[in-house]
Amino acid sequence: MAVTLTDDEIDALVRERKVFPRKWLKLVSRLKRDGAHYRQEVKLRSESGTEFQVKVRLSVRNPQDFCIVLATKSRLLSRLFRLRRYEGRGEHTNHIEGERFDGFHIHIATARYQERGREDAYAELTTRYDDFLGALDCLIKDTRIHLPTGAPRSLFLEDRSCPSTP
Amino acid sequence: MSIDAIERALRESVAAQVELREGGDNLYRVLTPFRFDDGDHFVIVLRRDGSQWTLSDEGHTYMHLTYHIDERDLRRGTRQKVISDALALFDVEDRGGELRLNVSGGQYGDALCAFVQALIKISDVSYLSRERVRSTFKKDSRALFRDAIPTDRRSLDWSDPQHDPDGIYTVDCRIDGQPRPLFVHALASESKTQNATITLHQFEKWGIQFQSLPIIEDETAINKKVLARFRDVCDEPLCNLPEGRVQIADYLEAHLSG
């Protein structure tokens, strides 16, 4: 598969300042049930006008099985391009590097995995979160998503927010 | 190495990659080397209800597929057929989105093999989306036109009868009802994109007034220069099918209501 976005372009998109719309809390409070999982999506834009989407999926049976995706779509891209995925607990193998691990992990889009057909097939183990809200908090921080004016600064009342990337 | 030694080595290495880990009350996670194409391993648990052991994916497989595919597209057309065939072939039950297989006669190995094979087949529908399977993309786009546009306002495979009686320059769907008709092109391939480019240029030469909407499955499969030449004659955003089905339907509905 051709490389659609280079690593630098991916990094630039992740670092663009983005703002959640007012209805962003539906990612947490208005999940829709679909069979054996819950889902919800929110669209947002960066200051430069780039379109993004945050999608969440959460297992009905297992609260540690979830996925929170940041994807982008521009006029040059006809489909959603998955930039980051914050995953629940599970096993993963990085095919190119030959690494296998089990735990909470973050998928990161790369050029080298685009060539193999899946931009988001590379992942890194993380200890920065251990539940769905923690993962969402990490995504918000890592990808520079700002909450709308007047919204609380964090998803959490106490300071148990996601630590910064080491 | 003797063939017996190779056989032993294969058995040991394969067996070593299957592991049970306690996951709760009467529940064990079954770790295997089998995975989705994004590197995440299949989620499989072994659960006991009374005296019955059952393999389950706890609803993860479908949830995982929806990271890339619209939920509705899993329930119709070719994808739905692939899924239902896989379930039937391996006696896997779909209970409210959770895939399950009861272990009978103590045949845990056979049950696990059958369950994994079913999950592999089902996860392949994600590959179906990315590959340019023309029958699915064309079928999906035709289904979209039929669902979203009333019969009296659409013409499939339209060509201009006045300028082009032989039907050389065609559009996949012409939608009427507005001052300028909407021409929809389903760009399934590089050659289709080139043909659409030539067609739109020809319409401009004939002085035909129109709007256009390009639908595409995978722009990475089309040469960038070919796509750039198409963009010279149509600067509307590319719309992806199946991922953008809802957005395309909304756009068509907005166009129809003017």
pLDDT digit string (tens) for B131-161? Answer: 434 446 777 788 888 888 898 899 999 999 9
Nearest by Cα to B112 from B20, B209, B237, B205: B20
Does B220 contact A4 at a Cβ distance shorter than 8 Å? Answer: yes
Dihedral Cα B76, B80, B81, B87, nearest 10 deg: -150
Instruction: Please give the torsion angle defined by the CA atoms of residues B128, B133, B136 and B139, in that order, rounded to the nearest 10 degrees.
Output: 160
pLDDT mean across residues, chain B: 88
pLDDT given at position B163: 93
Would the CB atoms of A77 and B219 count as touching at under 8 Å?
A: yes
The three-class DSSP label of residue B107 is coil
Does residue B243 belong to the interface with chain A, where contact is any CB pair within 8 Å? yes
| For residue B108, pLDDT beyond 80 | yes
- Closest partner residue to A59 among B35, B63, B67, by Cβ? B63
Residue B41: strand, helix, or coil: strand
Residue B9 has pLDDT above 80, yes or no: yes
Mean pLDDT of all residues in B37-65: 96
CA distances from B216 to A37, A44, B41, B108, B197 (A): 29, 23, 30, 45, 14
Structure-token match 């769907």, residue found:
B173
Angstrom distance (rounded) from CA A137 to CA A143: 10
**Residue B242: closest CA among B163, B138, B106:** B138
A77, A90, A117 ranked by CB distance to B43: nearest = A90
Residue of B nearest to A98 (CA): B39
**Partners of residue A93 in chain B, C-beta under 8 Å:** 33, 35, 39, 41
What pLDDT is attached to residue B175? Answer: 92
CA-based nearest residue to B98, from B44, B18, B144: B44
Which of A35-39, B76-80, B211-215 is the least confident region? B76-80
Q: Cβ(A50)–Cβ(A16) under 8 Å?
A: yes
Q: What is the mean pLDDT of residues B22-28?
A: 92
pLDDT band at B18 (very low <50, low <70, confident <90, very high): very high
Determine the Cα–Cα distance for residues B105 and A119; give it in Å rounded to an integer. Answer: 43
Global pTM? 0.71
Backbone phi, psi, residue B115, to 5°: -65, -45
What average pLDDT does range B150-173 have in this prediction?
A: 91
Q: In this complex, do A60 and B59 lie within 8 Å of one another by their Cβ atoms?
A: yes
pLDDT confidence of residue A43: 92
Q: Which residues of chain A have pLDDT under 50?
A: 157-159
The answer to whether A98 contacts chain B (CB < 8 Å) is: no
pLDDT computed for residue A76 by the predictor = 60
**A156 Cβ neighbours under 8 A, 6+ residues apart:** A133, A137
Give the pLDDT confidence of B235-256 residue by residue, as tens digits.
777 777 777 777 787 788 887 8
Whether A157 and chain B come into contact, CB under 8 Å, resolves to: no
Q: Nearest CA to CA, how far is A74 from chain B (Å)?
A: 8
Confidence of residue B178 (pLDDT cuts 50, 70, 90): confident
What is the percent of chain B with per-residue pLDDT over 70, rounded to a whole number?
A: 95
Q: Which of B38, B250, B251 to mutate to test the interface with A (most CBs of A within 10 A)?
A: B38
Distance CA(A22)–CA(A109), nearest Å, equals 28
CB contact under 8 Å between A92 and B239, yes or no, is no
pLDDT tens-digit series, residues B188-210: 888 889 999 999 999 999 999 99
